[in-house]
Amino acid sequence: MASLFNKVQTLISANLHSLVDKALKANSVAVLDEYIRQAEDNLDDLQDALITVRGQVKTLERKWKIFQGEAEQLDNDIDRLLRAGQEDLAMAAQSQYNSKADMAEQYREQFEQQKEEADKLAGARLKLQAKLTTIRQEREHLKALLELAKSKEIAAKTIRSLDDLEGVGDSDIARVGDAIRARLDRADAEVETYADRLDVRMDDVLGKSRLDGQLAERRRRLGLDAESAAEAG
């Protein structure tokens, strides 16, 4: 019984703030679950002990009352025997009275002790029940808090992941853009090269035509065209 009281008192005197701090550090309600498990087990033990002790209280009270009643009856018998002058019987009755009175006193003392024990058990049970109710409520609050913290942590990780993903995407897009621009630059260079070549060819053609025209004009002025035609004829 003493060990049960010690365990119960330890549970009753448990510091709620300390339990919550441990749960927060562990990021888990396991420490509160363990307390609840122990408290429930000890409540069951307390209930069993309380039933046993209360049964003993009733038994002791009944025996106390029986011996007390018998002692009171003998007390009356002793007076009656003395009045009747029956000293021997009065002495025998006195001896029985003493025995009954002693037994009644012993049962009374045991009754009071066990009743006090039962009251202590009942009080401890009520206190432990109250503490258990508080712990259960705090467990739910703490669980909700931890879940909220976990959700925020996941959200933060998601945001960081999105930031990382955005960076990777930007880099990829930048590389693709650079590649496209490089191809466009090459195409522009090729077009410019072709254009330059065309311009050169055109310039060559136009230059030759101009020269031919100028020379033809000179031949005409010099009459060389007629001579050329005569020679050809």
Work out how many domains the chain is built from and give that number.
1
Q: Which of 177, 176, 173 shows the shortest CA–CA distance to 165? A: 173
Chain-centroid distance of CA 43 in Å reads 26
Domain membership flag for residue 116: yes
CA geometry: angle at 197 spanning 192 and 200, to 5°? 125
**Does a structural domain hold residue 10?**
yes
Residue 177: per-residue pLDDT: 45
Q: How confident is the model at residue 74 (pLDDT cuts 50, 70, 90)?
A: very high
Amino acid (one-letter) located at 134: T
Per-residue pLDDT tens digits for 199-225: 555 566 556 677 677 777 877 887 776
Q: What domain range is 17 assigned to?
A: 2-174
Q: Mind listing the pLDDT tens digit for each residue in 168-200?
A: 444 544 454 455 455 545 555 654 565 555 555
Q: Look at residue 187 and tell me if it is in a domain.
A: no
Let me know if residue 78 belongs to a domain.
Answer: yes
In a domain, 180, yes or no: no
Which amino acid, one-letter code, is at 56? Q
